Structure 1
Amino acid sequence: MHILPFTADMVEDAAKLLASRHQKDRLATAALPCRFEREQDARIAIETEWKKQGTSGAAAIKNGKLVGYLFGEKTASTIRGRHVWASLASHSLASGQSAELYQDLYAAAAQTWVDEGYFTHFTLIPAQDASALHAWFCLGFGHEQAHGTLSLETLGEQTTTQLPLPGAQLRLATMDDRQALGDVSPWIRTHQTMAPVFGVALPEEGPKIREGYSRLVEDPEVSVWIVEQAGQILSFQAYFPGEEDPAALLVPEKSVELGVAGTRPDARGMGLNHVLTQRGFQHAREKGAQYVLTDWRMTNLQSSRHWPRQGFVPTAYRLTRAIDPRIAWARG
């Protein structure tokens, strides 16, 4: 076995590994899009990720054949700083290879990342691949985010539950709700700063996020549902078209994404989000959707308990590792 840098001329062979892995993933999660079982679509997915600026990685060669690969995109943001992102298309192993090979690939790729000052690493792993998850956990990675899928075809007929508050109404938001939607924009990010999430919410990001919420109603493809009482929003959900990225291995056809959902702190625990969810699912099915996607932070206890109870099944986990940046100079 030889571990070498991953290069563009390995993409064709890597596509065979990814297509084979995706076939196995779909046996566990039938909702995953079938097109990535085809080597051509798997190759396009890998090329899409590999051609992003700042990618590097490692490949495992055995008896002259590619048996595993891993690469990541080196990037930076105000929240995550300098970090590396490995998507679902950015790694795979040949059938029969031990998941421990991921550890060797990571060891080779991560040395370059750390040498260049990228100390936080992210990867997406299929939720049902227990051996791969264990291999990454043994590298010091931990759960950060869950990605879930719900089949609308298995829900049966939905009946909207009565809202638990007198005078409250559930409706689609309109252009007249722009300011009100901007006003609710701090709810989620403020909640995520609390225990046990402790996710930062930088003050300078607030105005941009507020504007994004206000403009949701301008997009005819986005459905924003609200529960209001006396002219005040108590709870909301926004549904977006399923992503059409060529590397979207988690996004089936005819799907919508439940992208944001929040409830005013003093109105939580009343069941408002459950009623919104029922109506949102019903509306999505009326528009021809077969699946709903969403994701949640594992340490957000309310979300990580609520969404599986609504029927979402995890399809992938985002794992993360934060390396002590002093390793840049504290090397003995």
Structure 2
Amino acid sequence: MNGYTVRAITEADIPIIANLLISRQNLESKTFPFLKNHCLNIAYIIDIFERLFNRRAIGIGAFFHQELVGYLIGELKIDTLRGRHVWIPYEGMAIREDQSPELIRALYAEISAMWLNQGFFMHYAVIPLGSQCYFESLQRLSFFIQQVHGVMDLEEYLPFKQASDAEIRIADKADREKMGRLSGIIQSYQSSAPTFELALPEIVADIKSGYESIMDDADAMVLIAEKDGKELGFQIYEAAAQRLMWPDGGVELNVAGTYPCQMGHGVGKKLMNEGCRIMNERGYRHIIADWRVANLASSTFWPKCGFYPIAYRMVRSIDSNWAWAHFSM
């Protein structure tokens, strides 16, 4: 990195980091116009970084002629699901438009050694897709796509013509038991081939309880597909929070699924048709969803519905034996 100065960035650098992120988002909005949202302002973004640095975050920046031209920030986290890992949020990486994508790789090379020296070998990054430089750079750092974050424009939705004849209705508190049974669908899909996600017993129990209690959540709308009184599938919607990577006034499709025995019978299509009709009537323009790229059912169905990727969650796993089995001259 000849001519560049690389150093740690701290709370004192937040104003210049925020300005660089705004420039990145202005570029993103050329591909995704809805990213010109209410969150794209200096006060909101400064608040994001203040909260990030108040947690356990480590960041570095690259300076050229004393101007910040790129940064990378990761939060060091420890939890039951992912263990010791680094989380690079959507806001955690940006380079100036005139810089080479190689700067991203160089920044990661600098900071990743710091993470490994503290015992953090799993690295997650949520990256924007308007500019392909972030995706391409992380691919060339051996990151892989784990999760897709997508958006559907309801004005462009084309209802499925061939769908199930199941009844679709809005669930109520009397459906708690049905929701408890439906809670196993997602865990079943996620833990089976080829996704192979862990289904830890304590997490499965929490998910079942969460599905049942969602019937008490006034902010959530649950659609249930039924036939002859038997539940077949469901969708859960909730007004989307304001976030930099989401359109204003969107609705989030939090989770959806159909029983495996109902796959291929048009239940998901019928739910999607009805869900889009209701959300359109309620004045929403965009639906937000995310899915595992290795989940064959979701990664084929959601794009058919009209969802397109706006961000990826990418992951790199480094062999922890590096802690003792590395060599330097």
**TM-score with structure 2 length normalisation?**
0.94
Among residues 48, 72, 80, which one is paired with 1:78 in the alignment?
Answer: 80
Q: For residue 49 of structure 1, what is the aligned residue in structure 2?
A: 52
Per the TM alignment, residue 87 of structure 1 is displaced from its structure 2 partner at its CA by 1.0
Specify the alignment match of 2:291 in structure 1. Answer: 296
Between 31-40 and 214-223, the greater mean CA deviation after superposition: 31-40
* CA distance in 1 between partners of 2:161 and 2:136 (Å): 41
Q: Is the 8 A contact 1:15 1:40 kept in 2?
A: no
1:195 maps onto 2:193 in alignment:
yes
Does the 8 Å CA contact 2:251/2:288 hold for their aligned counterparts? yes
Q: Aligned ranges for residues 141-152 of structure 1 at < 5 Å?
A: 141-152=143-154
Q: 2:17 aligns with which of 14, 25, 33?
A: 14
* Deviation, structure 1 residue 222: 0.6
Inter-partner Cα distance in structure 2 for 1:67 and 1:145: 28
Select between 228-237 and 256-265 the one with higher mean Cα deviation: 228-237
The one-letter code matched in structure 2 to 1:16 is N
For 1:104-143, list aligned pairs within 5 A.
104-143=106-145
- The residue matched to 2:7 in structure 1 has which SS? strand
* Matched positions, count: 324
Structure 2 runs not aligned, ≥5 long: none
Percent of aligned positions that are identical:
34
Matched, 1:26 2:33: no
User: Which whole-Å CA distance do the structure 2 matches of 1:82 and 1:171 have between them?
Assistant: 42
Contact 1:57 / 1:69 at 8 angstroms: preserved in 2? yes
CA distance, structure 2, for counterparts of residue 8 and residue 177 of structure 1: 48
Once residues 71 and 25 of structure 1 are traced to their aligned partners in structure 2, the CA distance between those partners, rounded to angstroms, is: 19
Displaced runs of 4+ in structure 1, greater than 6 A?
Answer: none
1:280 equivalent among 275, 291, 294: 275
Of residues 217, 220, 223, the one that matches 2:218 is 220
SS, match of residue 88 in structure 1: coil
Secondary structure in 2 aligned to 1:89? coil
Distance 2:180 2:36 in 1: 35
Structure 1 unpaired stretches of 5+: none
Q: Find 1:320's aligned residue among 300, 315, 320.
A: 315
* Offset of residue 128 of structure 1: 2.9
Counterpart residue type for residue 215 of structure 2: V
Q: Is residue 263 from structure 1 mapped to residue 250 from structure 2 by the alignment?
A: no
Aligned to 1:98: 100
Is residue 155 from structure 1 mapped to residue 150 from structure 2 by the alignment? no
**What is the CA–CA distance in structure 2 between the aligned matches of 1:40 and 1:164, rounded to whole Å?**
48
CA contact (8 A) 1:172 1:223 kept: yes
Contact 1:22 1:36 in 2 (8 A): no
